[in-house]
């Protein structure tokens, strides 16, 4: 890895800093049976709670539910203004989920993301921007079903990875 | 659909039967690039380092890498299949310390680190992780679950 030429200057501009605390435009998803089934198949989880309606209805849940990380498929909406991502490459640092109740097939889940912190580190990959975001998931009864706190790391110059803006 | 791990999925442990140090049944994963494409589609995660060799190399990786969130999904399965349908997952934390690649065996491991009763609810704290073939834990984490109690507390 080459060192970034401007590693002594902060990449966190005033414009970027203004995103801390800003909420994304709420977006509401219908939790569809086949989307849940596809997600469970993709992660390789064969629990009948995600795909077998009869078994799920007979269980303590009483209905089909979504796997705990299904929230990853419910992408947050855009911020009210374009996010000025300074880097080309992205790495996921981790997630912390807090669950209040399961997500059921048929629910409507509203997603809002908020950046709670931005900081930079200098390492092997040059300057890296760390973004901590808190994402809330609220159901149709206005109950907060879960939150996910994510750490997103971006770094490097060059052609932007097409998915960098989504996270 | 075939249930390959029905024994663990249906174990439904009671709080009283769980002890600090107990190991969770391991889950062995054999990820390939097909699964990464399936996960990209199912999760709407189209970051190209997970399916485009050139983009992955430009980003500094030897080849395409496994989505961190897919690894957390496996660790979620580790916990939920162990706790059964009567348990409830309350917290799941995962940290991607090292990168994992397709076509390598990844094993989900976990153990009980604490049991306690809070407000009449039996809580079990778990240390979890994804173990690479050489024994490295690439993705450490923790989880908190509630389990049903045999006695009314």
Write down all domains in chain A, each with its CATH number in brackets: 14-31+74-161 (3.10.129.10)
pLDDT score recorded for residue A7: 42
| Whether residue B3 has pLDDT greater than 60 | no
DSSP calls for B26-69: PEEE---HHHHHHHHHHHT---GGGT-HHHHHHTT-SS----HH
Among B27, B42, B74, the strongest candidate for a mutation testing the A interface, having the largest count of A CBs within 10 A, is B42
| Chain-chain contact of A92 with B68 (C-beta, under 8 angstroms) | yes
Indicate the domain borders of chain B.
Answer: 13-147
| Two tokens, residue A31 | 């939790």
User: Which residue shows structure tokens 């912390």?
Assistant: A96
Q: With CA atoms as reference, report the closest residue to B45 among B69, B71, B23.
A: B69
Q: With CA atoms as reference, report the closest residue to B149 among B8, B13, B7, B21.
A: B13
pLDDT score recorded for residue B152: 67
pLDDT score recorded for residue B151: 74
Phi, psi of B36 (to 5 degrees): -65, -40
- pLDDT tens digit sequence for B4-50: 443 444 478 999 999 999 999 999 999 999 999 999 999 999 999 99
- What is the rounded distance in angstroms from the CA atom of residue B88 to the CA atom of residue B77? 12
Complex-level ipTM: 0.92
- pLDDT tens digit sequence for B45-88: 999 999 999 999 999 999 999 999 999 999 999 999 999 999 99
Q: Which of B45, B77, B92 sits opposite A163 (nearest CB)?
A: B45
- What is the rounded distance in angstroms from the CA atom of residue A152 to the CA atom of residue B105? 26
Query: What are the residues facing A97 on neighbouring strands?
Result: A148, B92
| Chain-chain contact of B70 with A43 (C-beta, under 8 angstroms) | yes
Which of A88-107 are b and which e, b meaning 16 or more Cβ less than 10 Å from the residue's Cβ? bbbbbbbbbbbbeebbbbeb
Residue A109: CB partners within 8 Å, gap ≥ 6? A28, A29, A31, A74, A103, A137, A138, A139, A145
CATH architecture group of domain B13-147: Roll (3.10)
pLDDT score recorded for residue A166: 66
Residue A54: count other Cβ atoms within 10 Å of its Cβ. Answer: 9
Burial of B133 (0-12, 13-18, 19+ CB in 10 A): exposed
| Chain-chain contact of B60 with A156 (C-beta, under 8 angstroms) | yes
- pLDDT tens digit sequence for B84-128: 999 999 999 999 999 999 999 999 999 999 999 999 999 999 999
pLDDT band at residue B2, thresholds of 50, 70 and 90? very low
B93 touches chain A (CB under 8 A): yes
Residue A165: CB partners within 8 Å, gap ≥ 6? A83, A85
Q: Which residues of chain A have pLDDT under 70?
A: 1-8, 165-167
Query: Would you give the DSSP letter of residue B25?
Result: P
Residues of A in contact with B77 (CB under 8 A): 43-45, 47, 67
| Chain-chain contact of B77 with A43 (C-beta, under 8 angstroms) | yes
pLDDT band at residue B1, thresholds of 50, 70 and 90? very low
- What is the rounded distance in angstroms from the CA atom of residue A31 to the CA atom of residue B3? 23
């Amino acid at each position: 890895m080459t060192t970034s030429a401007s590693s002594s200057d902060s990449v966190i501009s005033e414009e970027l800093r203004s995103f801390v605390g800003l909420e994304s435009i709420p977006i509401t998803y219908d939790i569809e049976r086949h989307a849940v089934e596809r997600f469970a198949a993709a992660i390789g989880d064969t629990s009948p709670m995600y795909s077998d309606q009869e078994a799920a209805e007979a269980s303590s849940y009483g209905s089909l539910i979504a796997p705990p990380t299904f929230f990853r498929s419910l992408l947050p909406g855009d911020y009210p203004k374009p996010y000025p991502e300074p880097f080309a490459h992205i790495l996921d640092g981790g997630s912390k989920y807090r669950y209040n109740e399961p997500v059921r097939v048929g629910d409507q889940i509203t997603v809002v993301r908020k950046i709670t912190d931005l900081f930079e580190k200098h390492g092997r990959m040059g300057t890296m921007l760390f973004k901590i975001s808190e994402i809330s998931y609220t159901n149709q009864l206005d109950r907060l079903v879960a939150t996910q706190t994510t750490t997103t790391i971006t770094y490097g110059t060059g052609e932007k990875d097409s998915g960098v803006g989504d996270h | 659909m075939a249930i390959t791990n029905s024994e663990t999925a249906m174990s439904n442990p009671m709080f009283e039967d769980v002890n600090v140090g107990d190991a969770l049944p391991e889950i062995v994963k054999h990820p390939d690039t097909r699964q990464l494409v399936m996960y990209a589609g199912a999760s709407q995660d189209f970051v190209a380092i997970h399916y485009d060799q050139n983009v992955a190399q430009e980003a500094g990786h030897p080849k395409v890498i496994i989505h961190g969130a897919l690894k957390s999904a496996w660790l979620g399965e580790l916990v939920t299949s162990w706790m059964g349908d009567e348990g409830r997952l309350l917290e799941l934390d995962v940290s991607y310390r090292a990168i994992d690649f397709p076509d390598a065996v990844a094993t989900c491991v976990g153990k009980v680190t604490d049991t306690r009763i809070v407000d009449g609810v039996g809580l079990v704290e778990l240390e979890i992780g994804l173990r690479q073939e050489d024994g490295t834990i690439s993705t450490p984490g923790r989880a908190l679950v509630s389990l049903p109690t045999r006695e009314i507390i």
